[in-house]
Amino acid sequence: MRTTDETPDPMTVPAAHPVARPVDQALRLLTTSANHGVLWFGVAAIGALTGKRGRRAALRGVGSLAVSSFLSNTVIKPLVGRRRPDIERTVTARRIGKTPWTSSFPSGHSASAAAFATGAALEMPAALPVLAPLAAAVAYSRVHVGVHYRSDVITGAAIGVAVALAGRWLWPVKPWGPANTAPADAPALSEGEGLTIVLNEKSGSSDGAEDELSAALPKARIVQWDPENQSLEDAIGTGMKALGVAGGDGTVASVATIAQERGLPLAVFPFGTLNHFAGALGLNTHAQAIDAVEAGTAGGVDIARINGDLFLNTASIGGYPDMVIRRDRYTKRMGKWPATALALIRTLRRHTPMDLEINGHRAPVWVVFVGNGVYRPRGLAPAWREDLVDGLLDVQYLRADKKLARTRGVIYSLIGMVERSTVFHAVDAEKVTIIAHGGPEIPAHDGEVGEASTTITFEVDPELLTVYRP
């Protein structure tokens, strides 16, 4: 028989402080790890290590989190002032310690979780099956540990989702698939037989390309081109079935000119620093380009010309050509990227408006952007094309005869309303003529500087260029 001072059986007498179950411990850890967004910053850091797409997903996720957190915690909470749930109604095993002192409505944790998950998934849909349950668990944990009502959590999550979706309007989501091309035929070159690949030996951006390409395409002919002492025609020679190029956009445009003249398909291997054209084709790695060459998969794309010179991506008049000239002058002293930063700062400080006539419309202009095809988003930072055969030039320019034009242009670009502003104008046409009434202007195209001229003509070439693509 048990005496009164014996220890009672814990299975029959409830403890004064229930022992936390594993689920309680997990949810307490999860909810505290999300304090101040630490959990999501960690997820963003991991995502950023996975490549370009992961970096964009991380950036959009963190940006959405920041906006939703500010809206929930700084704007709405002080206006509502809802008391927290009575913590005594939550069992001790679930509690996280000190109850937050801020308003209960809405849940900032839920808003941040939903905003990050939605924003990141917009850029990387494959991450949604991981991020959605994690965000939902964070939101539920706020109710589980007794610091929020269900309505706080639901409203907070709705705010987060709404902020992330609204961000698509201000900052459009970049499509990750290749841009549209026209049907085209190109020979399948097993092991690169019949392919001549050009490397620009003055460009350090394609270092290591020769070894990797010769190993993957042993029957291809690889030539080193010295643009200062050798013509590209002489370097390429004759007798090939297709031309290839490994380098940045400027080198690609030069080789594309020869390919177009000879009626040869072009293979672009993205080894360069700037590979916008390869990216538009869906060629994110040189392995993809190698597979396309051996399989013979190809498409046709528009090419544009500036005073007869071919360009594949973009051209401009104004500050950018000046910046390129300064960058090239500084590069020998400090390297390319520091030189670019210094050149940009000095160009913005010294640049003056241009007196231009664009297809008959005369106005003072700060900068002119011309895209081979329509670029998105509209504004001062166009970044991608969805169609490489739309047959149009995308001419966007910022007027200088409006008060605070540059400042307004930047603001309107950031909030996604640049097309509604009076400082920004756009023209889509097959041919555009720009007359510089203030004297010769220097154009730039695909990262290279052209010859100064008072009349600059842009037009879409009627013939398509055949390119290898996935």
From the candidate CATH numbers 3.30.420.40, 1.20.144.10, 3.40.50.150, 3.30.70.1530, the one assigned to the domain spanning 22-170: 1.20.144.10
Q: What is the pLDDT of residues 195-237, one digit of tens each?
A: 999 998 766 555 678 889 999 999 999 999 888 888 899 889 9
pTM over 0.85: no
> Which pLDDT belongs to residue 210?
84
Using alpha carbons, list the distances in angstroms from residue 197 to 96, 111, 230, 283, 314: 63, 52, 16, 16, 24
Task: Please choose, from the candidates 227, 224, 458, 248, the residue with its C-alpha nearest in 3D space to the C-alpha of residue 336.
Answer: 248
Outline which parts of the chain fall under CATH 1.20.144.10.
22-170
> Cis peptide before 377, with omega less than 30 degrees from 0?
yes
List the end-to-end C-alpha distance of the chain, in Å, as a whole number: 83
Topology at the third CATH level for domain 314-445: Tumour Suppressor Smad4 (2.60.200)
From the candidate CATH numbers 1.20.1260.10, 1.10.1510.10, 3.40.50.300, 3.40.50.10330, the one assigned to the domain spanning 182-303: 3.40.50.10330
Q: What single-letter amino acid sits at 120? A: A
Residues 6+ apart with CB under 8 A from 219: 189, 190, 191, 192, 193, 194, 195
Residues 6+ apart with CB under 8 A from 7: none
pLDDT values of the chain reduced to their tens digit, one per residue, 470 residues? 444 445 445 444 444 456 557 888 888 899 999 999 999 999 999 999 988 789 989 999 999 999 999 999 999 999 988 888 877 776 776 777 777 788 889 999 999 999 999 999 999 999 999 999 999 999 999 998 888 899 999 999 999 999 999 988 877 888 878 999 999 999 999 999 999 999 987 665 556 788 899 999 999 999 998 888 888 998 899 999 999 999 888 889 999 999 999 999 999 998 866 688 998 999 988 899 999 999 999 999 999 999 999 999 999 898 766 766 777 677 767 665 577 667 766 776 777 889 999 999 999 988 898 999 998 877 766 778 999 999 999 998 888 888 877 777 767 766 666 667 778 888 899 999 999 999 999 898 987 888 899 999 999 999 999 999 99
Helix (H, G, I), strand (E, B) or coil at 243: strand
> Which pLDDT belongs to residue 249?
83
> Which pLDDT belongs to residue 266?
98
Outline which parts of the chain fall under CATH 3.40.50.10330.
182-303
The torsion angles phi and psi of 344, rounded to 5 degrees, stand at: -65, -45
Task: Please choose, from the candidates 274, 259, 279, 272, the residue with its C-alpha nearest in 3D space to the C-alpha of residue 200.
Answer: 272
Distance, in Å, from the CA atom of 308 to the CA atom of 261, rounded to the nearest integer, reads: 13
Q: What is the pLDDT of residues 123-171, one digit of tens each?
A: 999 999 999 999 999 999 999 888 889 999 999 999 999 999 998 887 7
DSSP string, 41-72: HHHHHHHHTT-HHHHHHHHHHHHHHHHHHIII
Calculate Rg over the CA atoms of the chain: 29
Outline which parts of the chain fall under CATH 2.60.200.
314-445
DSSP string, 136-177: HHHHHHHHHTTSS-HHHHHHHHHHHHHHHHHHHHHSPPPP-S
Residue-wise over 186-216: b if at least 16 C-beta within 10 A, else e? Answer: bbebeebebbbbbbbbebebbeebbeebeeb
Distance, in Å, from the CA atom of 385 to the CA atom of 276, rounded to the nearest integer, reads: 10
The torsion angles phi and psi of 316, rounded to 5 degrees, stand at: -160, 160
Query: Which H/E stretch holds residue 321?
Result: helix 319-334
The pair of three-digit structure tokens given for residue 283, joined into one six-digit string = 């060629």
